[in-house]
């Protein structure tokens, strides 16, 4: 009698404060198979270890580690490990604001996308989604992912957008006005009457830095001044728009090279 295969299920799920994302789901499975089911959201999936085999619209597919899989809403699919070692995956479930129903047919015909740039962007999105306080970065990365997906699914509609320095300047003014309060990308897009992805591309092209990087740089600059005034790191984080002290520490160390506490303690006071 064959030994029964062990089942491993490790799951982490959360709902980030990022418009368009209904859920983030990280999982490792062995010896477990999903039955046929549907989602009411788009499923954006990457596999970090192993591989998944699944059926979509009566056709068999697989997800090797170098692909991004996009499953459309309301289309039945299943899923199971392709090997005995199972798989480890990261999933973002997206509502209909990023991708329209007109792309469902294209996604059904070709759900597994071999595109290194898209794969890299999805990985960076997951990193941003896991860090509270980095919602603008996640929004920016998601906007570029949406643009890439639409270009891959509708290549004839993908066009190169010219530089728009006036739009970039307008976004920088908005960010400068709201350093501590922050600014959601969708809100900026409504205020400036521009598509979110176009905003990110225009800003990055004009200034050589993404909007979320610019905002964090401004916040760190303000934090440095407060720390030199002797304000404790926890109070500094709250005053400069960071999610908490750990969020301040992560970005401060990245940009300054030391923690806020060490920076404050090393200050020389000149009378």
Q: What is the pLDDT of residues 208-248, one digit of tens each?
A: 889 999 999 999 999 999 998 899 999 999 999 999 999 99
* pLDDT value, residue 111: 93
pLDDT at 5: 52
- Tell me the percentage of the chain whose pLDDT exceeds 70: 92
Using alpha carbons, select from 226, 27, 208 the residue that is nearest to residue 126: 27
DSSP result, 21-63:
EEEEEEEEEES--EEEE--SSEEEEEEEEE-EEEEETTEEEE-
Q: Is the dihedral of CA 34, 40, 42, 48 positive or negative?
A: negative
Dihedral sign for Cα 51, 29, 70, 211, please.
negative
DSSP annotation of 83 reads: S
> Quick one: which H or E segment has residue 92?
strand 87-94
Residue 160: is its pLDDT beyond 70?
no
Residue 195 pLDDT > 60: yes
Q: How far is it, in rounded angstroms, from Cα 62 to Cα 82?
A: 8
The string of DSSP codes covering 254-267 is HHHSS-HHHHHHT-
Q: Helix or strand or coil: residue 245? A: helix
Q: What is the DSSP letter of 156?
A: G
* 45-55 pLDDT, tens digit each: 999 999 888 88
Q: What DSSP state is assigned to residue 75?
A: -
User: Tell me, what's the pLDDT at 2?
Assistant: 40
Whether residue 156 has pLDDT greater than 60: no
Query: Residue 268: its pLDDT value, please?
Result: 56
pTM of the model: 0.81
């Amino acid at each position: 009698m064959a030994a029964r295969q062990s089942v491993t299920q490790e799951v982490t799920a959360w709902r980030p404060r990022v418009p368009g994302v209904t859920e983030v789901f990280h999982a490792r499975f062995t010896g477990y198979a999903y039955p046929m089911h549907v989602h009411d959201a788009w499923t954006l999936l990457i596999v970090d270890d192993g591989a998944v085999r699944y059926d979509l619209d009566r056709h068999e597919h697989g997800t090797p580690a170098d692909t991004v899989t996009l499953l459309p809403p309301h289309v039945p699919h299943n899923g199971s490990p392709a090997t005995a070692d199972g798989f480890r995956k990261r999933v973002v479930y997206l509502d209909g604001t990023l991708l329209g129903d007109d792309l469902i047919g294209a996604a059904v015909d070709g759900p597994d996308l071999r595109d290194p740039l898209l794969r890299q962007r999805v990985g960076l999105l997951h990193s941003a989604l896991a860090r509270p306080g980095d919602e603008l970065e996640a929004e920016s990365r998601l906007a570029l992912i949406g643009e890439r997906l639409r270009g891959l699914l509708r290549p004839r509609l993908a066009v190169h957008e010219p530089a728009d320095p006036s739009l970039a300047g307008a976004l920088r003014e908005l960010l400068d006005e709201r350093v501590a309060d922050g600014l959601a990308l969708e809100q900026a897009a409504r205020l400036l009457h521009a598509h979110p992805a176009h905003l990110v591309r225009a800003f990055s092209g004009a200034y050589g830095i993404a909007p979320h990087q610019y905002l964090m740089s401004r916040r760190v600059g303000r934090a440095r001044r407060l720390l030199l005034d002797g304000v404790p790191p926890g109070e500094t984080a709250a005053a400069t728009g960071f999610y908490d002290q750990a969020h301040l520490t992560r970005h401060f160390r990245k940009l300054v090279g030391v923690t806020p506490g060490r920076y404050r303690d090393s200050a020389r006071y000149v009378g």
